[in-house]
Homo-oligomer: A and B are copies of this chain.
Amino acid sequence: MLKVGVIGCGYWGPNLIRNFVQLNESDVVRVADLDPDRLKHMQSLYPGIQTTSDYHDIVSDPEIDIVAVATPVQTHFVFAREALLSNKHVFIEKPIAASVKEVKELIGLAQKNRCKLMVGHTFEYTAAVRKMKEIIDSGELGKIYYISSQRLNLGLFQQDINVLWDLAPHDISIILYLLECEPESVTAIGSSHINPAIEDVAILTMRFPDNLIAFVQTSWLDPDKVRKMTVVGSKKMMVYDDVQPSEKIRVYDKGVELPQHYDTFAEFHYSYKYGDIIIPKIEGGEPLRTELKHFIDCIKNDKTPISDGQSGLRVVRILEAAQNSIEKTNNNVIPVIRNGDEIKLHKV
């Protein structure tokens, strides 16, 4: 039975606690938070769990095997670092840390102390995203031309990070998981309307090898809740609509074909293909449960987590490049952050 300590029981922490409690191979022994009301509420739900306002009670508790961190991103590094120094396995909510530098240090520490380090890229553990990967890997879609993703809704505004850091980690981690490669360049355009220091609307563009492009549109200011990703391939197209309760993925037998050769410009014609649409059945189950079971399995059997520190690093590298692009935008240009810049983006 792995003993878990959870730091942070605000928005997402309670889900971690519930799942660690319900899994047969783990148990939550202590929860830390600065807000006594949250601690009290946790204790009312799980009378057997101890609470503390001092995270040291968790990272230094020799009984604890796993430290799970569900706090604002700026604090991830400190908590995770101390936990790793105390030889705990560490699970951190996405994004794994606030900078490439921080992530690299955590990865190094985990390697050195032979601890498992995993980031909560939950979507990589959903049946829908796995089905998408299965379809892409089968070659059914042909060559992938582009991916366009939208993650929009009204709130929840963050006070310390912009909308890209808040929402785009989901889309980025899904896209990297699907494509198994990293972008060659990153550009971002952002705009602030509520808090002048924090972008609340932003579009991220990633250029991948082989002319593949991906757009991620994020907003905290949209009246509709949208979570939609379109994957356009040379043979078929696929839409993942996560707002749908059951029909999350649609595969369209649609495409465009350019004839191999043509003599004159006037003869230049495209042929369109319009065929059936298939909505594959997606198995249910709570992704967070799958994710945490996977973490426990990696600990018990010394495996590398799918969303390990390197996976977290790839996402933060893109977020940092995007942030850079937004900040360096001047009157004349929007910078493209790419290979050769201080932020290295390269193929996996």
CB distance from A300 to the nearest CB of B (A): 21
Check if B332 sits within 8 Å of A270, measured CB to CB. no
Taking the complex as formed, is A211 at the interface, i.e. its CB lies under 8 A from any CB of chain B? yes
Taking the complex as formed, is A148 at the interface, i.e. its CB lies under 8 A from any CB of chain B? yes
Taking the complex as formed, is A275 at the interface, i.e. its CB lies under 8 A from any CB of chain B? yes
Check if A146 sits within 8 Å of B254, measured CB to CB. no
Taking the complex as formed, is A193 at the interface, i.e. its CB lies under 8 A from any CB of chain B? yes
Check if B154 sits within 8 Å of A272, measured CB to CB. yes
Among candidates B148, B191, B194, residue contacting A213 with C-beta atoms closer than 8 Å:
B191
Check if A211 sits within 8 Å of B187, measured CB to CB. no
Check if B256 sits within 8 Å of A157, measured CB to CB. yes
Taking the complex as formed, is A78 at the interface, i.e. its CB lies under 8 A from any CB of chain B? no
CB distance from A274 to the nearest CB of B (A): 6
Closest to A185 in B: B331
Contact with B along A213-238 (1 / 0, CB 8 A): 10101011111100000101010011
Among candidates B155, B185, B247, B281, residue contacting A256 with C-beta atoms closer than 8 Å:
B155
Q: With a CB–CB cut-off of 8 A, which chain B residues contact A146? A: 191, 193, 201, 221
Q: With a CB–CB cut-off of 8 A, which chain B residues contact A238? A: 223
Taking the complex as formed, is A138 at the interface, i.e. its CB lies under 8 A from any CB of chain B? no
Check if B265 sits within 8 Å of A148, measured CB to CB. no
Q: Which residues of A in the span 146-190 have a Cβ within 8 Å of any Cβ on B?
A: 146, 148, 154-155, 157, 159, 185, 187, 189
In the complex with contacts A203-B205, A237-B223, A155-B191 CB distance below 8 A: no
Check if A272 sits within 8 Å of B155, measured CB to CB. yes
Q: Which of A192, A201, A247, A275 has the most CB of B within 10 A?
A: A201
Check if B187 sits within 8 Å of A334, measured CB to CB. yes
Taking the complex as formed, is A239 at the interface, i.e. its CB lies under 8 A from any CB of chain B? yes
Q: Which residues of A in the span 249-304 have a Cβ within 8 Å of any Cβ on B?
A: 250, 252-254, 256, 258, 265, 268, 270, 272, 274-281
Q: With a CB–CB cut-off of 8 A, which chain B residues contact A268? A: 159, 195
Check if A274 sits within 8 Å of B281, measured CB to CB. yes
CB distance from A312 to the nearest CB of B (A): 26
Among candidates B222, B239, B274, B278, residue contacting A277 with C-beta atoms closer than 8 Å:
B278
Q: With a CB–CB cut-off of 8 A, which chain B residues contact A329? A: 336
Closest to A330 in B: B336
A-B contact pairs, 30 of them (CB 8 A): A22-B44, A146-B191, A146-B193, A148-B217, A148-B222, A154-B254, A154-B256, A155-B272, A157-B270, A159-B268, A187-B334, A189-B205, A191-B211, A193-B234, A203-B203, A203-B215, A217-B217, A221-B237, A223-B230, A223-B250, A223-B252, A275-B281, A276-B279, A276-B280, A277-B278, A279-B279, A329-B336, A333-B334, A333-B335, A334-B336
Other than the given A47-B47, A194-B256, 20 more pairs (CB < 8 A) read A22-B44, A145-B221, A148-B219, A154-B256, A155-B256, A155-B270, A185-B331, A187-B189, A189-B205, A194-B270, A223-B252, A224-B239, A245-B245, A276-B278, A276-B279, A277-B279, A331-B336, A332-B333, A332-B336, A334-B334
